[in-house]
A and B are shown apart, each in its own frame.
Chain A
Amino acid sequence: MSERTTQFTRSLGGLFHRAGIFGAVVLILAIGALVSPKFLTAGNLLNTVDSVMLLGIVAVGVAFVTYSGHYADLSVPTTMAFSGVMAVEMLRFGFVPALLAGLATGLGIGLVNALMVGRLRVNPIIWTLAMSYLTMGVMRWLWSNQQIYPDVKGGDTGAGRLFTELYRHEVLSRIPLPMVILALFAVAGHYVLTRTAFGQQLKLVGSNPSMAAMTGVRMPRTVGLAFVLSALAASVGGILITSLSKVGAYYNGEGYDFDAVTAVVLGGVMLTGGRGSMLGVLGGVLMLGLMSNILTLLGVDTFAQRIVKGAVFLAVVGVSSLLARRMGRDDA
């Protein structure tokens, strides 16, 4: 390759990484405006944001796993479902115990993942896949394939009603609760990633795991924590999605694993690890939401949207890995 072309790909790659996802968001906003006059209305845009709040919460968690160089957490959907089901089941003891039970479920799954991937260094994809089937099996077995309903499980304590209204609860009677949680998660995630020892060490782990180990980073703990955070975010998302759908079921959260990874990768977190930001992840989530909104306005059904999503995912992953190689930065 000639000097000039190299230069060109390099600056292109630099642009790709720096301007990142928000250039793409602006672009897609423009496309959306062209496609439909309904697109650039406050109502529509708010709806778009509303539709991806849960995805955002989950993606913040998954971002830690991807950032650590462990690709993805495929146990996210069943973690969501299990947390929701556990929360609903525990509603009989009241509202707060139910939420705690849901979070504890996520924490438990996260800890198992942490132990296996962090300490035993099991292949993360295979392990989280096994974990998802395991939890799926447990759920379907214990609840015999049944859905469970918060208002039934809550009895007449009122906990059931509280639970089903959780998702629609508005903080300061204006801002939806999931929005607040997402904002909190994103800020906290950004802080953890950039301003804590854990975040810095995770960057080392993602960039060069052997170097991190020889620098005194406690690998089992650091990698493990990434999986625990992912599972915790998933369980919060799971409780909210259960509240939204008003039913605890094993299939809640289906597809969230792939969507979250897509958002994370779209947002510029490289699959090779150690690069990316929470802001980018939010951009990626927003991008997915806008894309699906435009496609819906165009009359494309959800199944066809999956195709587009998959194609975008492959394109982003392929292009970014190609660019990273061209820039000679992935040989570490």
Chain B
Amino acid sequence: MTMHKERITSLLAALDRHRIYVLLALVFAIMPFVAHGFGTVNNLTTVLKSSCLNATVAIGFTLVLICGELDLTIGATLTLGAMLTIGLQPHLGRPGSFAVAVAAGALVGLCNGLIVTKARVNSFIATLGSMTILQGILYIYSHGSSVSVTGPADFRLADFLEKPLVPLLTPRVLITVALVAFAQGVLTWTRPGRNFFLVGGNRETAWFSGINPARYVVGAFVVSGAGAAVGGALFGLSMCSATPNLGASCLMDVIAATIVGGTAMTGGKGSVLRSALAVLTFTAMFNGFNALGFPSELKILIAGLVLALVVIHEAAAARRHEKARGRRPMLMEELRRKAPPQERES
């Protein structure tokens, strides 16, 4: 009987660990049957396209979370990326404006990282502050309205980015896939990549192993800033315009996706790939809801609800773990045998 129970427990644990694959499969298995038009190639392309922005942003965000920190600026940074790419195009041309946008994003990340590591301000608080500054800058830059390409419009690049090369896959989707794959590869297969996990898992051990944790934390913030800017810039290039509230809902969606994807808020654990898949899951789900005629406001509610549930789930698991800590296996073993304790003879 205990064997049976144990098997169920371990099965549940495995399900929990790989929950994002299960959820993804569920959404793509159920939605085509209930939501009319969900399964068409056209709609699936839309799903993939609208996952791009958040998936790109989730890369850096996941990395910061792996380091045990939090970056609340991603929404504002991606807007910054989009706006700079569009706004600077007349002066610098496309490659120039793109480069400046990404550099600006990286700079935001660098500032965040330095505040967190040098002044040792809690990252939630530090990025809350820099987010406000950034929002102010954005509004001044855009005068509170959307920025579009001025002058003789050239939509060729935008069209190219949004038109499927092969069914389902547009260039922007492909770029996103490449970025996610690259990040996942670096995190899984390279020494610096693995060191991020060590820094998040146990900063002291990392320090004693000759790794400079501060450098990795700053690095994670820079990647997060640059990644968000790249996402925004690509979005801007394909839409040819950017609104100041472009990234407003992004923060919540990305946090929810990353945590549902299995990245631990306490650091040391996470996967860029799973975060991206979680973004895809969410996007597909909302797309299906739209087709079902659900009001779009439900989206915010559901994202909040999912995040709340996962957070509660993880808190409860942590509490169970804490309760079990300090219980020594040998005493448990003795108890199981129901035998009197045998003392070591001296």
Contact = CB atoms under 8 A, between A and B. Distances in A.
| A–B interface present (Cβ within 8 A) | yes
A71 B125 contact: yes
B304 interface: yes
B132 to A, nearest CB: 4
Interface in B233-253: 252
In the A-B complex, the 5 residue pairs with the closest CB atoms: A137-B301, A306-B136, A133-B304, A310-B133, A134-B304
A134 B300 CA distance: 7
B284 interface: no
A126 B119 contact: no
21 contacts: A72-B125, A122-B311, A126-B255, A126-B307, A133-B303, A136-B300, A136-B301, A137-B301, A137-B304, A137-B305, A140-B301, A261-B128, A303-B139, A304-B140, A306-B135, A307-B137, A310-B130, A310-B131, A310-B132, A318-B126, A321-B121
Interface of B: 70, 115, 119-122, 124-126, 128-137, 139-140, 144, 252, 255-256, 259, 265, 295, 297-305, 307-308, 311-312, 315-316, 318-319
B115 A314 contact: yes
Q: Is the interface of A mostly helix, strand, loop or mixed?
A: helix
Residue picked from B295, B303, B307, most chain A C-beta under 10 Å: B307
B133 A258 contact: no
B144 A303 contact: yes
A317 B125 contact: yes
Contacts of A71: 122, 124-125
Nearest to B138: A303
A144 B301 CA distance: 12
Contacts of B128: 72, 258, 261, 313
A140 B70 CA distance: 27
Count class of interface residues, chain A: 35 or more
Given A126-B307, A141-B298, A318-B126, 10 more contacts: A125-B70, A127-B308, A131-B304, A133-B252, A133-B304, A307-B137, A308-B136, A310-B132, A311-B133, A314-B115
Nearest to B298: A141
A138 interface: yes
A120 B297 contact: no
Nearest to A124: B124
Contacts of B122: 71, 271
A307 B115 CA distance: 16
B296 to A, nearest CB: 9
A145 B315 contact: no
Contacts of B299: 137
A120 B301 contact: no
Nearest to A127: B311
A218 interface: no
Interface of A: 71-72, 116, 120-123, 125-127, 129-138, 140-141, 144-145, 258, 261, 271, 301, 303-311, 313-314, 317-318, 321-322, 325
B112 to A, nearest CB: 10
B308 A317 contact: no
Contact of B140 (A116, A130, A133, A303): A303
Contacts of A125: 70, 124
A133 B300 contact: yes
Contacts of A132: 304
Contacts, number: 137
A131 B124 contact: no
Contacts of A308: 136
B126 A317 contact: yes
Contacts of A271: 121-122, 125
B265 A137 contact: no
B133 A123 contact: no
B255 A129 contact: yes
B132 A258 contact: yes
Contacts of A126: 70, 255, 259, 265, 307, 311
Contacts of B256: 130
Nearest to B303: A133
Contacts of B318: 121
B291 to A, nearest CB: 18
Contact of B126 (A309, A314, A325): A314
Contacts of A318: 115, 119, 121, 126
A310 B297 contact: no
Nearest to B244: A303
A309 B311 contact: no
B74 to A, nearest CB: 13
Given A71-B124, A321-B119, A130 B308 contact: yes
Contact of B119 (A129, A135, A136, A322): A322
Contact of A129 (B115, B135, B252, B302): B252
A137 B135 contact: no
A72 B121 CA distance: 14
A321 B307 contact: no
Contacts of A121: 315, 318-319
Nearest to B316: A120
A141 B312 contact: no
Contacts of B319: 120-121
A309 B133 CA distance: 8
Contacts of B300: 133, 136-137, 140
Contacts of A131: 304, 308
Contact of B139 (A133, A138, A306): A306
Nearest to A132: B304
A271 B128 CA distance: 13
Contacts of A129: 252, 255
